[in-house]
A and B are shown apart, each in its own frame.
Chain A
Amino acid sequence: MKADWTVPMIALITLAGCHAAPAAHPLTPAQAAARHPADARLAALYDTSCRACHTSADSGAPLSGDHTQWDARWAKGPAVLLQSAVAGYNRMPAGGQCATCTAADYTALIAFMADHDQGSSQ
């Protein structure tokens, strides 16, 4: 007897559809600029360092909160992203011009900009 896979396949496709993230859309620089870390200390660090480039389309930096620019970077993993932030990579200047950020700060700022943090204000 030939197995009928139609029903399970439809169920799988439906389930996959239910769990798929909504398609990401590019943000405008204004939308990126409207985002701020919820934590006040982190927001201050972000404001004096990351914000200048990560809310400007001309800077070439991925815009804060823009999944179309961040998701591929996020997939590299936190260790790679931290190394790039601290030591610089391509157009990213070392340390992101933040002289007082700790490794934990960088990790939190990256998560915020990639929109993988627990909360941000707009």
Chain B
Amino acid sequence: MTTPTRRALLLGGGALVAGAAGLTGRRLWLDREPPSPPAVDKAGHLLWQNWAGTEQCWPATRLAPTAADEAAHILKTANGPVRTVGAGHSFTGLVPTDATLISLDRMSGVLAHDPARMQATVGAGTRLYDLGPALAAIGQDMPNLPDINKQSLAGGTQTGTHGTGPGFTALHGGIVAFDLATPRGEVLECSATSNPDIFNAARVGLGAFGIVTRMVLQNHPLTRVKKTTSFRRRDELIENWDALSTTHRNAEFYIIPFSHWGQLITHDATTEPVRPRGPDTDADGVLQLKQARDLFEFASPLRFWTSDHLIGGMPDQVAIDEGWKLLSNERPVRFREIEYHLPRETQIAALREVIAAIETHRSDVFFPIEVRSIAADDAWLSSFYGRASGSIAVHAYYKDDYRFFYTLIEPILRRHGGRPHWGKLNSLSHDDFAALYPRWNEAMAVRDHCDPEGKLINRYLSRVVRRG
């Protein structure tokens, strides 16, 4: 009797074809471009949207002051909420306002420098990709830069943006002094000796204390570095992270989910001859991981096998050049991100849980998980306040669902004592922050003094600075 077998084969084959077609159709449906918000609202105001597409608004007024006095006047007279925008790279709702949006683009560039102290006075709107060559021209360097360098200096420092290296603070750790225009109409010089409370509270200030118009940066001598990018077994990276992070000047690694591999990136000072970086391969690499996800989302063993064969045996990449040319990268594939900064002692335990959670519950995730380290600093609202930290960042493709950040990832990171990056997605509110930051109440008192009418507070900041 062969008929039942033949029928079963036909039915089974048909089911397989139908299943494959169904999965393909599902993926095509999920991969469509997200709907765009209206470019103009009913009142004719143009759309503003952040890089990630998570926040938008239609401000009635947009202004770009050229000087601190002008910024102070705007703050005193404009309709609130008055929010300041740099490059729009924050994922959180720091910028949206339907009233007044202020750009710092006309306050940029290196304004003065002190070669003896290795310091530079810089317009707060300077984009980091412009700051690197401008500092290099005067023999100075920022030895720690974020992975992306499209941000403005003010936007980066006000949100505690960082790079990696246990010997380096985040960007704001290099601020020696800054000028702050406040809604009172004042321009305050702030440093460790001049308005020290404002200096400590507003250095990482979320744009909630006023507008930082320029800052003095403590830089380092311009240095040539050797960047090495290598694929390593992920167990090796995780187990050796302490040694790796202290052996190299800057070290970070990415865990590639649904594979046994990770990518280690190190930077070390060198005198070797310049070897310029080659074309970026990260964007193609991420899209290959997406293809593996698209094909094998519901067949994890096949996905591991495919990823391992794609990655295993890939050669190291080496580039040698000035640090500003190598530390940051192009990230043209848009994404959404959650990042928490944890005590170094709990970072690896938290990382293991995050990997397990993703590989157990979220087969749609394909972006690598980013792991970095950063030194402690003393800015009251810095996520690194008072403790050396280890960072864990999880990303989601911009077309994919990212709500699992809040339900699956954030509980792990919070349980291990993490504080969220101010510019990246999180669900925390006032009471949570108050419990995480020892100087929270003092910082809020300073904020209320600088902005007594709450002119700088938009809907998102209301959740942050005002008790539930």
Contact = CB atoms under 8 A, between A and B. Distances in A.
Interface of A: 44-45, 48-49, 52-53, 56-61, 82-83, 86-91, 93-95, 97-103
A94 B330 contact: no
25 contacts: A48-B105, A48-B127, A49-B105, A53-B332, A56-B330, A57-B279, A58-B280, A59-B332, A60-B332, A86-B39, A87-B36, A87-B49, A88-B36, A89-B33, A89-B36, A93-B49, A93-B53, A94-B56, A97-B51, A97-B89, A98-B105, A99-B85, A99-B105, A100-B64, A103-B40
Interface string B78-120: 0000000101110000000000010101101000000000000
A9 B436 CA distance: 81
A91 B334 contact: yes
A3 B85 CA distance: 71
Contacts of A59: 330, 332
Contacts of B85: 99
B20 interface: no
Given A99-B101, A102-B46, 13 more contacts: A48-B125, A52-B150, A57-B279, A58-B330, A83-B39, A88-B53, A94-B47, A94-B48, A94-B53, A94-B56, A97-B87, A99-B103, A103-B40
A89 B53 CA distance: 10
Contact of A52 (B40, B56, B64, B129): B129
Contacts of A57: 279
A30 B109 CA distance: 22
Contacts of A87: 36-39, 47, 49
A44 B333 CA distance: 26
Nearest to A84: B36
A83 B39 CA distance: 6
- Which one of B36, B89, B101 has the highest number of Cβ atoms from chain A below 10 Å of its Cβ? B36
Contacts, number: 89
**Chain B interface: which size bin?**
35 or more
B50 interface: yes
B445 interface: no
Given A58-B283, A88-B53, A95-B47, A83 B333 contact: no
B88 A97 contact: yes
Contact of A94 (B49, B101, B106, B333): B49
A6 B333 CA distance: 54
Given A95-B48, A100-B103, A48 B56 contact: no
A83 B330 contact: no
A32 B391 CA distance: 37
A99 B88 contact: yes
Contacts of B105: 44-45, 48-49, 98-100
